[in-house]
Protein backbone atom coordinates (compact mmCIF):
# COMPACT_ATOMS: atom_id res chain seq x y z
CA UNK A 1 0.00 0.00 0.00
CA UNK A 2 1.17 3.55 -0.75
CA UNK A 3 0.78 6.55 1.53
CA UNK A 4 -2.26 7.89 -0.30
CA UNK A 5 -4.07 11.01 0.91
CA UNK A 6 -6.68 11.52 -1.84
CA UNK A 7 -9.74 9.53 -2.86
CA UNK A 8 -8.33 8.20 -6.10
CA UNK A 9 -7.40 8.75 -9.71
CA UNK A 10 -9.42 9.32 -12.87
CA UNK A 11 -7.63 8.52 -16.15
CA UNK A 12 -8.81 10.10 -19.41
CA UNK A 13 -7.50 8.71 -22.68
CA UNK A 14 -6.76 10.61 -25.87
CA UNK A 15 -8.05 10.58 -29.43
CA UNK A 16 -9.01 7.24 -31.01
CA UNK A 17 -8.20 5.18 -27.93
CA UNK A 18 -10.33 3.75 -25.14
CA UNK A 19 -10.13 2.98 -21.44
CA UNK A 20 -8.17 -0.15 -22.40
CA UNK A 21 -5.02 1.90 -23.01
CA UNK A 22 -4.71 2.45 -19.24
CA UNK A 23 -4.81 -1.26 -18.33
CA UNK A 24 -1.16 -1.35 -17.24
CA UNK A 25 -1.50 1.81 -15.16
CA UNK A 26 -4.74 0.56 -13.58
CA UNK A 27 -3.02 -2.70 -12.65
CA UNK A 28 -0.11 -0.82 -11.04
CA UNK A 29 -2.35 1.52 -9.05
CA UNK A 30 -4.75 -1.23 -8.00
CA UNK A 31 -1.86 -3.39 -6.78
CA UNK A 32 -0.75 -0.43 -4.65
CA UNK A 33 -4.24 -0.02 -3.20
CA UNK A 34 -5.03 3.20 -5.07
CA UNK A 35 -8.67 3.62 -6.21
CA UNK A 36 -8.70 4.32 -9.96
CA UNK A 37 -11.24 4.81 -12.74
CA UNK A 38 -10.33 4.69 -16.43
CA UNK A 39 -12.92 6.66 -18.41
CA UNK A 40 -14.28 5.42 -21.73
CA UNK A 41 -14.92 8.56 -23.80
CA UNK A 42 -17.63 8.34 -26.48
CA UNK A 43 -15.53 10.54 -28.84
CA UNK A 44 -18.74 11.94 -30.32
CA UNK A 45 -18.01 15.54 -29.31
CA UNK A 46 -15.93 17.39 -26.75
CA UNK A 47 -19.12 18.24 -24.84
CA UNK A 48 -20.08 14.55 -24.65
CA UNK A 49 -16.56 13.56 -23.55
CA UNK A 50 -16.50 16.26 -20.87
CA UNK A 51 -19.86 15.07 -19.51
CA UNK A 52 -18.62 11.48 -19.20
CA UNK A 53 -15.41 12.57 -17.49
CA UNK A 54 -17.29 14.82 -15.04
CA UNK A 55 -19.55 11.90 -14.13
CA UNK A 56 -16.52 9.72 -13.39
CA UNK A 57 -14.88 12.44 -11.28
CA UNK A 58 -18.04 13.06 -9.24
CA UNK A 59 -18.40 9.34 -8.51
CA UNK A 60 -14.77 8.85 -7.44
CA UNK A 61 -15.49 10.65 -4.17
CA UNK A 62 -13.43 13.13 -2.16
CA UNK A 63 -10.20 14.61 -3.49
CA UNK A 64 -9.34 13.25 -6.92
CA UNK A 65 -6.30 13.43 -9.20
CA UNK A 66 -7.34 13.63 -12.86
CA UNK A 67 -4.88 12.68 -15.60
CA UNK A 68 -5.45 13.37 -19.28
CA UNK A 69 -3.38 12.10 -22.19
CA UNK A 70 -3.13 13.95 -25.52
CA UNK A 71 -6.67 15.04 -26.55
CA UNK A 72 -7.69 14.04 -23.03
CA UNK A 73 -6.05 17.26 -21.90
CA UNK A 74 -8.83 19.23 -23.57
CA UNK A 75 -11.36 17.02 -21.81
CA UNK A 76 -9.97 17.34 -18.29
CA UNK A 77 -9.46 21.09 -18.64
CA UNK A 78 -13.23 21.50 -18.95
CA UNK A 79 -14.40 18.48 -16.96
CA UNK A 80 -12.62 19.66 -13.81
CA UNK A 81 -13.96 23.20 -14.07
CA UNK A 82 -16.07 24.06 -11.04
CA UNK A 83 -15.36 20.70 -9.38
CA UNK A 84 -13.67 21.35 -6.01
CA UNK A 85 -13.12 17.61 -5.53
CA UNK A 86 -10.32 17.73 -8.14
CA UNK A 87 -7.10 18.20 -6.17
CA UNK A 88 -4.65 18.08 -9.08
CA UNK A 89 -4.66 17.89 -12.88
CA UNK A 90 -1.95 15.89 -14.65
CA UNK A 91 -1.26 16.42 -18.36
CA UNK A 92 0.62 13.55 -20.02
CA UNK A 93 1.85 14.74 -23.43
CA UNK A 94 -1.52 16.45 -23.42
CA UNK A 95 -3.18 19.52 -24.87
CA UNK A 96 -3.13 22.21 -22.19
CA UNK A 97 -4.86 24.87 -24.27
CA UNK A 98 -5.98 28.31 -23.19
CA UNK A 99 -9.20 30.07 -24.13
CA UNK A 100 -8.83 31.70 -27.54
CA UNK A 101 -6.04 29.41 -28.73
CA UNK A 102 -6.49 27.30 -31.84
CA UNK A 103 -5.18 23.76 -31.50
CA UNK A 104 -4.65 23.26 -35.23
CA UNK A 105 -2.75 26.53 -35.50
CA UNK A 106 -0.50 25.52 -32.60
CA UNK A 107 0.15 22.10 -34.11
CA UNK A 108 0.90 23.72 -37.47
CA UNK A 109 3.26 26.26 -35.93
CA UNK A 110 5.20 23.45 -34.25
CA UNK A 111 5.15 21.25 -37.38
CA UNK A 112 3.26 18.31 -35.93
CA UNK A 113 3.45 15.18 -38.06
CA UNK A 114 -0.08 14.29 -36.95
CA UNK A 115 -1.68 16.95 -39.13
CA UNK A 116 -1.16 14.89 -42.27
CA UNK A 117 -1.87 11.53 -40.65
CA UNK A 118 -5.62 11.76 -39.96
CA UNK A 119 -8.00 10.06 -42.38
CA UNK A 120 -11.83 9.98 -42.63
CA UNK A 121 -13.59 6.98 -41.14
CA UNK A 122 -17.31 6.61 -40.51
CA UNK A 123 -18.72 9.90 -39.20
CA UNK A 124 -15.33 11.13 -38.04
CA UNK A 125 -11.62 10.68 -38.53
CA UNK A 126 -8.90 8.37 -37.25
CA UNK A 127 -5.12 8.20 -37.42
CA UNK A 128 -3.77 6.48 -40.52
CA UNK A 129 -2.99 3.04 -39.12
CA UNK A 130 -0.05 2.67 -41.48
CA UNK A 131 1.60 5.63 -39.74
CA UNK A 132 0.32 5.08 -36.21
CA UNK A 133 3.25 2.93 -35.13
CA UNK A 134 5.89 5.57 -35.85
CA UNK A 135 3.82 8.54 -34.68
CA UNK A 136 2.24 7.13 -31.53
CA UNK A 137 4.01 3.96 -30.44
CA UNK A 138 7.68 4.28 -31.32
CA UNK A 139 8.81 2.64 -28.06
CA UNK A 140 6.48 -0.37 -28.28
CA UNK A 141 7.11 -3.80 -29.75
CA UNK A 142 5.65 -4.41 -33.19
CA UNK A 143 3.44 -7.24 -31.90
CA UNK A 144 1.93 -4.96 -29.26
CA UNK A 145 1.20 -2.27 -31.82
CA UNK A 146 -0.40 -4.73 -34.25
CA UNK A 147 -2.69 -5.99 -31.50
CA UNK A 148 -4.05 -2.57 -30.62
CA UNK A 149 -4.39 -0.91 -34.03
CA UNK A 150 -7.79 -2.60 -34.66
CA UNK A 151 -9.04 -1.13 -31.38
CA UNK A 152 -8.57 2.50 -32.47
CA UNK A 153 -11.89 4.32 -32.97
CA UNK A 154 -12.84 7.32 -35.07
CA UNK A 155 -13.66 10.57 -33.31
CA UNK A 156 -16.04 13.29 -34.44
CA UNK A 157 -14.74 16.63 -35.69
CA UNK A 158 -16.88 18.33 -33.03
CA UNK A 159 -14.33 17.08 -30.52
CA UNK A 160 -11.97 19.79 -31.78
CA UNK A 161 -14.01 22.87 -30.90
CA UNK A 162 -12.42 25.80 -29.06
CA UNK A 163 -11.45 25.39 -25.40
CA UNK A 164 -13.69 27.03 -22.83
CA UNK A 165 -12.46 28.36 -19.47
CA UNK A 166 -9.85 25.73 -18.44
CA UNK A 167 -9.62 24.40 -14.90
CA UNK A 168 -5.81 24.49 -14.88
CA UNK A 169 -6.01 28.24 -14.27
CA UNK A 170 -6.98 27.71 -10.63
CA UNK A 171 -5.91 24.12 -9.91
CA UNK A 172 -2.54 22.55 -9.02
CA UNK A 173 -1.20 21.08 -12.24
CA UNK A 174 1.55 18.71 -13.34
CA UNK A 175 2.76 18.44 -16.94
CA UNK A 176 4.77 15.47 -18.26
CA UNK A 177 6.66 16.28 -21.46
CA UNK A 178 7.42 13.28 -23.67
CA UNK A 179 10.59 14.35 -25.44
CA UNK A 180 10.49 11.73 -28.22
CA UNK A 181 6.86 12.42 -29.10
CA UNK A 182 6.11 12.64 -32.83
CA UNK A 183 2.40 13.40 -32.43
CA UNK A 184 2.38 16.46 -30.17
CA UNK A 185 5.79 18.08 -30.75
CA UNK A 186 7.95 18.41 -27.62
CA UNK A 187 8.42 22.10 -28.42
CA UNK A 188 4.66 22.62 -28.12
CA UNK A 189 4.52 20.52 -24.97
CA UNK A 190 7.24 22.65 -23.38
CA UNK A 191 5.32 25.79 -24.31
CA UNK A 192 2.13 24.48 -22.71
CA UNK A 193 4.01 23.13 -19.69
CA UNK A 194 4.95 26.67 -18.62
CA UNK A 195 1.39 26.87 -17.29
CA UNK A 196 1.91 23.98 -14.87
CA UNK A 197 3.16 24.09 -11.28
CA UNK A 198 5.24 20.92 -11.68
CA UNK A 199 6.97 19.79 -14.88
CA UNK A 200 8.72 16.51 -15.64
CA UNK A 201 10.32 15.46 -18.92
CA UNK A 202 10.55 11.82 -19.95
CA UNK A 203 12.49 10.39 -22.95
CA UNK A 204 9.46 8.55 -24.30
CA UNK A 205 7.16 8.40 -27.30
CA UNK A 206 3.58 9.68 -27.28
CA UNK A 207 2.18 6.64 -25.46
CA UNK A 208 4.14 5.87 -22.27
CA UNK A 209 1.07 4.17 -20.80
CA UNK A 210 2.11 1.15 -22.90
CA UNK A 211 5.79 1.03 -21.96
CA UNK A 212 6.01 2.89 -18.64
CA UNK A 213 2.86 2.17 -16.65
CA UNK A 214 4.87 1.87 -13.43
CA UNK A 215 6.39 5.32 -13.99
CA UNK A 216 2.93 6.83 -14.48
CA UNK A 217 1.64 5.10 -11.36
CA UNK A 218 4.66 6.35 -9.40
CA UNK A 219 4.05 9.89 -10.64
CA UNK A 220 0.42 9.74 -9.51
CA UNK A 221 1.48 8.30 -6.17
CA UNK A 222 3.81 11.26 -5.66
CA UNK A 223 0.95 13.61 -6.52
CA UNK A 224 -1.32 11.91 -4.00
CA UNK A 225 1.02 11.53 -1.08
SS3 214: helix
Q: Among the listed ranges 73-77, 87-91, 130-134, 186-190, which one has the minimum average pLDDT value?
A: 130-134
43 lies in some domain: yes
Whether residue 94 is contained in a domain is answered as: yes
Model confidence at 159, in pLDDT bands (50, 70, 90)?
A: confident
Instruction: Classify residue 68: in a domain, yes or no.
Output: yes
Confidence of residue 2 (pLDDT cuts 50, 70, 90): low
CA distance 24 to 117: 27
Residue 2 located in a structural domain? no
| pLDDT of the residue at 3 | 64
Question: What's the CATH code of the domain at 29?
Answer: 3.40.50.1820
Range of the domain at 155: 8-223
Q: Is residue 45 part of a domain?
A: yes
* C-alpha pair distances (Å), 128 with each of 16, 107, 112: 11, 17, 14
pTM over 0.85: yes
The reply to whether 1 falls in a domain is no
User: How many domains, in total, are found in the chain?
Assistant: 1
Res. 1: pLDDT tops 50: no
Give pLDDT, residue 45: 94
- Using alpha carbons, list the distances in angstroms from residue 20 to 27, 151, 152, 199: 11, 9, 10, 26
* pLDDT per position as a tens digit, 25-84: 999 999 999 999 999 999 999 999 999 999 999 999 889 999 999 999 999 999 999 999
- Has residue 202 been placed in a domain? yes
- How far are the Cα atoms of 24, 81, 113, 166, 182 from residue 116, in angstroms, in the given order? 30, 32, 6, 28, 12
DSSP string, 101-149: --HHHHHHHTT-GGGGSEEEETTEEEE-HHHHHHHH-TTS-HHHHHHHG
List 65's β-bridge partners, or say none.
9, 88
Catalytic residues: 70
Domain assignment present for 206: yes
Q: How many residues does the chain have?
A: 225
Amino acid sequence: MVDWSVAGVVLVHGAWHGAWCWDGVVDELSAAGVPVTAVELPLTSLDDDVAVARHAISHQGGDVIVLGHSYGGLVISEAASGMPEVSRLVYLAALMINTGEDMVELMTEHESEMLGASVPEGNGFVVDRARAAQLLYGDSDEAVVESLLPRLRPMHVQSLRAQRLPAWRDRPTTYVICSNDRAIPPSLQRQMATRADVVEEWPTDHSPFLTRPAAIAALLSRCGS
